[in-house]
Amino acid sequence: MPKIFALLLIGLSCCATASWGYFQDAGFGVRPAGMGEAFVSVADDANCVLYNPAGYARIRDFELTGMYADLHSNINALLYTGNTDRLAYQFLSLAIPFSPATGTFGVAWNHFDSVFYKENTFSLSYGREVLPLGGLDVGCNLKVLQWLVTPNAYSSNPLTYPYADLQKTGFTADVGVLSIPLEGFTLGGSVENLIPANLGLAGEHRVPLVMRAGVSFRHHWEKHPVDSLLAQVEWSDRDGEANVKLGLESWFFANALAVRAGVNYDATTAGLGFRYQPPDSRVSLQLDYAFTYPFQVFDSLGSHRMGLTLRWKTGGKWAETLETDQIEFYYQRALETFYLGELRSSLGWWEKILALEPDNEVAQTQAEELQQRLRTPSAARTLPKVLAVPGRTASLRVVSRLAPAGQALNVRLTGVTSLAPPAKAQPEYADDLGSQMALAAKYERQGDNRQAQEALEIALALAPNQPEAVAALRQLRAKMRAPIEQAFRRGMKAFKDKDYLPALWQFQLVLKISPEHALAGFYLKKTRDILAGRIEKNYQEGEALLRRGQYQQAAEYFKLVMEFAPTYRNAAGLLQKALLKSRLLTRTGAGYASALKAFTQTQLDKALAILSPFVKQGVGDSRFRQLFSRAIRQKSLSLKFYHQGVAHYQVRRLNDSIASFRRSLDLDRGSRAKKLLVEAYLNLGVLAYRRDDFKTAQSYWEQILTVQPDHAMGLKNLRRTKHKIEFLKKNLGDR
C-alpha cells in the first residue's frame, strides 16, 4: 500500500482533540508576509482585512490586491491514488473608499486549496476615522468561514473517513483600532473571531480568539537615496500560543522599489515590491514577492507568494473625496512654507488649491496677502505678525519697510539712514546762448526740468538779463513749483503721522528738484535723526530681550538693526550671542515646552511662531519638527472646516455653518471663523426673535457671548430679549 501523506486531513483529525488545526494564520497578503506578518500597526492597504480592519480608514484610493501562495515547496504530499498534492493559498481583497466622513468599505476572499480539503473565508469590512489627524481609526470585519472535504472514494468510505459532514459553515467578526500618538509612530490592535463559531468536525470546537497588538515607526526623507523606512513589532496570541513578529520595509527610487524583511517564532521572511504609475494616469500597479522559510518544517524550500495590486482613481464622488484629500495636503504645504519664510513657495501651493477650487475663500485671501507682500521687497524680511512684541509693533513696522522699487537704502556709519540719489550725467555745455537755450528746450521736452533749469541758468551766466532766458526760467520755475509743494506736503503729512521713511523719500525728492528748499532740508535732517533713533531703539530692545532670556526675539531685533546698519555698534556680536543662546535654549527644552503649551491651548499661531525659527535653522531635536508638523496639520484642518463653514454660510445653511465654524475654532483658537460664527448666531437669533421664540433667541445671544464676550449687539439683544421674557411672564404667566 503506498504511503499516504494527507497533511490537512491529519490536521482535521486532530481537531477532534483539544488542538485547532484549520483556519490558521496563513500569512495572507504578499506585502505583510514579506515583513514577517507584522502588519497590525501598519494596515495601510487592502491587505489589512485579516490583520486590522481599522486600516480601511486610511485607504484613499480604489484598491484591488490578489495573491497566490505556493506553500512548502519540495514537500509534495503523496496521495492514496499515487498522485501528489500541492498546498496553495489564493487571496483577493477590494477596498472601496468613500469620503473620510463616510469611511471605506471592503470585501475579501481567502481560499486554501488541496485535493482533499478546502477552506474559504468571505469578509465584508468597514473602517472609519473617528478622531482627526490620526487620533483614532476603527474598523470591523463580518466573516463567513467555510471548510469542505471533496467527495471522492476516500471521503465516501466510512472506514477511511468516519465523519458524516463533508462541509461546515460559521459566522464570526473582527474589530481593530489604529492611532498615531506621536509623529511617525502608529499603535494598532485587533481582536479576531469575537463571535465563537462552531466548526468542529467530530464535536463542538469553536474558532479560537486571536489578539494582536503592535507599534510601527515610519520616516520619510526628501532628496535622499532612501525614500522611506518602516519598522514594526507585533505581539499576537492565538488560543494561548504567543508569537512576536518583527518587520522592516524600505522604498527606493522615488517609491518604485521596496525591500522587505521580517522574522517571527515560526519563520524568517524577505520580500520585494515594484510599483509603476504611467505619467498623467490615475492607475498604478504594484507587483510583490515574498519568501518565507519555516523553522519547524524540514526538507522545505520555503513558501513563495506572488501578488499584484491595482490602485486607481475615478470621477464623481470618489474624485471629490480624493481632491479634498489633495487640498488638505496643499493646505499643509502652504502653511508650512509660509511659517518657514518661503513666501513664493507658499503662494504656489495656495494657487494650486485655487486651481482645484477657484471659489476657496481661504486660498483667495492668503494668495492676495502673499502677492501684496511679495510686491514689496521687504516681505521676506518682515517679521510674522505673531512675533511682534506688544508695544513694539509700531517701531518694527517703521524699520521693516523698504524704499520703493529702484531706490536702494544706503546706511552711513553714523547710523543715519538716507537715500543715495542715483548718479546722473552733467548737463551738456555750450559757450553760446543759442545752443544753451536749445538744450534747455530739449530737456524740457524730455521732462527733465531740473537739467532744463541748469541749462537756462548757464545761458543767463553767458548773457545776463537776456529777456528770453529770464522769461523761460521764470516759466519753468513756476511749472516746477507745483510738484515741489505737493511732495513737501506729502512729506510733512507723513512726518506728522510718524511715518518717517515715506517722509524721508518726499523731502529728498523736494531737494532733488529744488536744492535751495530750506524747510525740506531742515525736516530731512530731522527725519534722518529720528530714523537713526529708531535703529538705536531696536538695538536697545534687542539688548533688553537678550538680558531677559528671550533669545530668539532678541535675534530678530538685531537682524533688523543689521539690515539697515550692518556695522552699527556691536549688533553683529550680539546677534551671534542671541542665536547661540537660542540653540542652548532649544537643547534645554524650554522653547519646546512653550510651544507645546501653546499647541495644547490650540494657540497654533503662537506655537508655529515659536517653532518655525528652530525648524528653519535646523536647531533642536526631532521633537520640534514633529510638533511643527502636528500644528501645521491641525491648522490646515481648521482652515478646511472654516472653508466648509463659509460655503454653508453663503447658502444660508446657518446651523451647518455653525458646526463647521465651531470645529475650526476648537482646532485653532486664532481661526478666522470667530467673526462669521458670531454673525451666524446673530442671524439665527434675529429669526427666532421675529418668530416670537424668545427662549431660543436668548440662547443664540448667549452663544455669541461665549465666543465674543464684549460683542455689543449680542449684549444689547440679550438684555432686550430678557426684558421681553420677563414682561411676558409677568403678564401671561408660564404660558
Q: Determine, yes or no, domain membership for 26.
A: yes
Q: Is the same domain home to 643 and 671?
A: yes
435 and 449 belong to one structural domain: yes
Residues 307 and 292 in one domain: yes
Last residue of a domain, one of 293, 313, 333: 313
- Does the pLDDT value for residue 458 go beyond 60? yes
Residue 266 domain-assigned (yes or no) = yes
Residues 371 and 357 in one domain: yes
Short-list 273, 272, 257, 271, CA closest to 225: 257
* Residue 615: inside a domain: no
* 564 belongs to a structural domain: yes
Same domain, 326 and 280: no
Q: Is 445 a residue whose pLDDT tops 70?
A: yes
- The tens digit of pLDDT for each residue in 355-408 reads 878 878 888 888 888 888 888 755 444 434 333 333 333 332 333 332 333 333
Give the gyration radius of the chain's Cα atoms.
Answer: 39
Do 186 and 299 share a domain, yes or no? yes
Say which residue, 610 or 82, is predicted with more confidence.
610
Among 138-147, 193-202, 392-401, the least confident range = 392-401
For the chain, the domain total comes to 4
3-class SS at 532? helix
| 600 located within any domain | no
The full DSSP string for 163-211 is -S-SEEEEEEEEEEEEE-SSTTEEEEEEEE--S--B--SSS--BPPPEE
> Which is nearest to 667 in space by CA: 630, 627, 634?
634
Quote the pLDDT of residue 619: 60
**623 in a domain, yes or no?**
no
In tens, the pLDDT along 4-36 reads 334 444 344 333 333 445 666 656 789 999 999
Is the pLDDT reported for residue 457 higher than 90?
no
Residues 289 and 331 in one domain: no
- Cβ-in-10-Å burial (0-12, 13-18, 19+) of 370 comes to buried
279: its cell numbers: 505619467
155 and 285: one domain?
Answer: yes
CATH number at residue 684: 1.25.40.10
Q: Lowest-pLDDT range, 240-249, 285-294, 421-430?
A: 421-430
Q: Does residue 309 sit in the same domain as residue 398?
A: no
Band of the pLDDT at 260, cuts 50, 70, 90?
Answer: very high
Question: Do the beta carbons of residue 334 and residue 350 sit within 8 Å?
Answer: yes
How much is the pTM? 0.48
CATH number at residue 365: 1.20.58
Confidence check: pLDDT of 588 > 70: no
Structural contact between residues 237 and 211, judged by C-beta atoms closer than 8 angstroms: yes
Range 689-692, long-range pairs (CB < 8 A, 24+ positions): 689/717, 689/721
Place 452 in a pLDDT band, splitting at 50, 70 and 90.
confident
User: Which cell goes with 618?
Assistant: 535646523
Say yes or no: 252 and 355 in one domain: no
Residues 6+ apart with CB under 8 A from 675: none
- How far, in Å, CA of 6 to CA of 80, rounded? 9
pLDDT band at 735 (very low <50, low <70, confident <90, very high): low
pLDDT at 149 over 80: yes
Q: Is residue 604 domain-resident? A: no
Integer angstrom CA distances of residue 365 from 226, 313, 368, 633? 38, 30, 5, 19
Q: Where are the beta strands (DSSP E) in 61-166?
A: 62-70, 77-78, 84-85, 88-97, 104-113, 117-131, 136-149
Is the same domain home to 346 and 299? Answer: no
Residue 566 has pLDDT above 90, yes or no: no
Of residues 77 and 397, more confidently modeled: 77
Q: What is the mean pLDDT of the chain?
A: 77
- Burial profile 621-645: b = 16 or more Cβ within 10 angstroms, e = fewer: eebbbebbbbbbbbbbbbbbbbbbb
Domain that holds residue 356: 317-375
CA proximity to 15, closest of 122, 243, 192, 168 = 168
Res. 539 pLDDT band, cuts 50 70 90? confident
Under the banding of pLDDT at 50, 70 and 90, the label for residue 285 is very high
Last residue of a domain, one of 375, 399, 419: 375
Grid coordinates given for 295: 523553522
The grid coordinates listed for 120 are 474559504
| Residue 656 CB partners (closer than 8 Å, separation 6+) | 645, 648
pLDDT of residue 286: 95
Q: Look at residues 588, 619, 653 and tell me which one is the last residue of a structural domain.
A: 588
Report pLDDT for 597.
Answer: 86
Are the beta carbons of 673 and 396 closer than 8 angstroms?
A: no
Q: What is the CATH number of the domain that holds 28?
A: 2.40.160.60
d(CA 458, CA 450): 13
| Assigned domain for 478 exists | yes
Name which of 146-160, 471-485, 677-691 the model is least confident about.
471-485
Are residue 396 and residue 494 in the same domain, yes or no?
yes
